[in-house]
Structure formats: structure tokens, C-alpha cells
Amino acid sequence: MKVIILGAGVAGVASAWYFWRDGHEVTVLERNSGVALETSFANGGQLSYSYVAPLASPSVIPKIPPWLLRRDSPLRFRPELDPRQWRWILEFLAACNARTADLTTERLLRLAFYSRDLMHELVAAHDLDFDYVQNGKLVIHTERASFESARRLMEFQRSLGCEQQALDADATVELEPALQAMRKRICGAIYTPSEDAGDCYKFCTELSRVMMAGPNPVRFRFGVRVDRLLPVHGRLLGVETNRCSRRSASTCRCIRSRAIASPFRSRATPARRASASPTTSARSCMRGSATSFAWQAWPISRGSRR
């Protein structure tokens, strides 16, 4: 089968790998001059499988009004006259109850563990140099309430097969001595030994190298901008680019562009999470990373390369 992948971020490159592995003829279209030069270029590097708490939960509702007023909010909302947006909001609010949140957590965890298995399988299949480490993740809490809430979530997730430990301040510092200076501020931490970390940009460049070197190589077409999707009877069968139009038996969209995606417009996503990683260079794997979660926690990936 001929497959076109739109976008060469980590989603596009990983999708290309699965199609390529299954023997398909794969072409990746990317507007930049290489892989992973946008969001996947300098992310936090965390391969985090056990932090799946759904945004739609009872605790999020009181946070929404202040979030809407903050410029650096994890929630961005642009009201539209599109009934699908308002239906989405009503469905989101209806999902903000404990029962649905537990069910979603359970489903997300299953998906995350499946994803972890696939990632481990992929890493074992090739010799990829992307600063990959399997050294766990430590999420530090400086507020008692957030620690207690994380501990409750941990107990629930444990019943679903998640291996995590709640540590007091001393045990946290013992595990990560670099935290000694902030020992007094630590209320506790959740340690997840099974979490990994890796450099997303390097992962993409290495994986694309593998796919270009092997038999039936993947064709990466850089400098190609996708302008329009070509739907036929509701199926995406090709694209129009700044260079030509391409058709395929299957087109895999790994880009998020409102303009070109309109024929297949998915539901509005009214929320995003912001995070920042204190790194030594623009694109280095973190030594420590800070993520602005709704419940104010600091995840630290231990002992990475810098």
C-alpha cells in the first residue's frame, strides 16, 4: 500500500516506522528542511506512562474561571459559533465527575502501558542513539494538599497495575541528593521507577536514518508544504502541496493545521498543558524539568546526560 505521512514530528516519524516495518511504500511530507524541527525539537524528553490523570475531573471545574483570565494559562479558549465546540464543552463538563475520571484514568493507563511496550519493542529493534535512559521519575510536591491528592491517585493507579511509591522529604532527598537545598520545602514526592527519558529530536533523526537506510526506504520529502487535503466520500485519499498533488491508498495526518484540516475537522481541543525545561542548550535532554500541572508538581527525571 502507498502511504503518505503528513508532518515529520515524532508522531509522523513513528507512524512512518510502523507502516515501513509492515512493508508499505511510505512517503513523508514535511515543510521544514528536516525531521522534528517544531514541537518535537526541544520538548521535556520525558517518556511518561504513569501520569495519565484526565483533565476532565471534578477538581478542574473551580480552576477553569481563573485559568481563563491568565495569559500563561494551561487552558486557552476561543469561543466560536460552531455548535460542535459548544457540544464538546458540555460533554467535557459532563465528564467532570469522579466515576468518569476513574474510568478515563483506567483507559488511559491501559493505552499508556501499551504504548510503553511498543516503545520498548522499538528501542530493542534498533540501535538508536537518543540519550535514552530508564531511570524513573520523581514528582515533588511542595504543598501538602497536592501531595495528599497525588497519593490518593497513586493508590487508585496502583490497583490498576501502576508501580509508584510515595516518599517523604527525607526519602526524596536520599533518592535525589541534588534536592538537599530545597529539603524544607518538600512535602513529599511520588516516585515512578518505570518511567523513561530520551531526546525527542535525536529519536526522530535516528529513526528516520534507520528508515532511509534499509530496504524499501521511506521517502522523506522536505520543503513540501501541504496546502489541502483531498477527501473522497469522507475518506482522505491524497493531498495538494506547494509542489504537486499526491494520492495514496492511505494518508496519515500528523499535523495540526486548522486551515488544511477543515474537511476533517476534529473537535475543538480547548486545553493544552504548558511546560518548560531548564536545559543547558535549546535542545538538550533535561536534567530537571518543571511542568505546570494543574496540581502544581515538579517532575524530575534523574541522572540524564547533562
Chain residues that interact with ligand FAD, rule: CB under 6 A: 7-12, 29-32, 36-40, 43-46, 200, 225-226, 254-255, 257, 260, 275
C-beta of 149 vs 257, nearer to ligand FAD? 257
Neighbours of 88 (CB within 10 A): 16
Task: Take residue 260 and report the three cell numbers written for it.
Answer: 488544511
**Least CB distance from residue 18 to ligand FAD, whole Å?**
14
- HEC string for the chain: CEEEEECCCHHHHHHHHHHHHCCCEEEEEECCCCCCCCHHHCCCCEECCCCCCCCCCHHHHHHHHHHHHCCCCCECCCCCCCHHHHHHHHHHHHCCCHHHHHHHHHHHHHHHHHHHHHHHHHHHHCCCCCCCECCCEEEEECCHHHHHHHHHHHHHHHCCCCCCEEECHHHHHHHCHHHHHHHHHCCEEEEECCCEECCHHHHHHHHHHHHHHCCCCCEEEECCCEEEEEEECCEEEEEEECCCEEECCEEEECCCCHHHHHHHCCCCCCECCCEECCCCCCCCCCCCCEECCCCCEEEEECCCCC
C-beta of 11 vs 218, nearer to ligand FAD? 11
**Least CB distance from residue 80 to ligand FAD, whole Å?**
21
C-beta of 36 vs 55, nearer to ligand FAD? 36
C-beta of 37 vs 150, nearer to ligand FAD? 37
Determine the residue with CB nearest ligand FAD.
9
C-beta of 188 vs 288, nearer to ligand FAD? 288
**Least CB distance from residue 62 to ligand FAD, whole Å?**
26
**Least CB distance from residue 175 to ligand FAD, whole Å?**
20
Total length of the chain: 306
C-beta of 19 vs 169, nearer to ligand FAD? 19
**Least CB distance from residue 98 to ligand FAD, whole Å?**
27
C-beta of 128 vs 173, nearer to ligand FAD? 128
The answer to whether the CB of 226 falls within 8 A of the CB of 5 is no
**Least CB distance from residue 43 to ligand FAD, whole Å?**
3
**Least CB distance from residue 13 to ligand FAD, whole Å?**
7
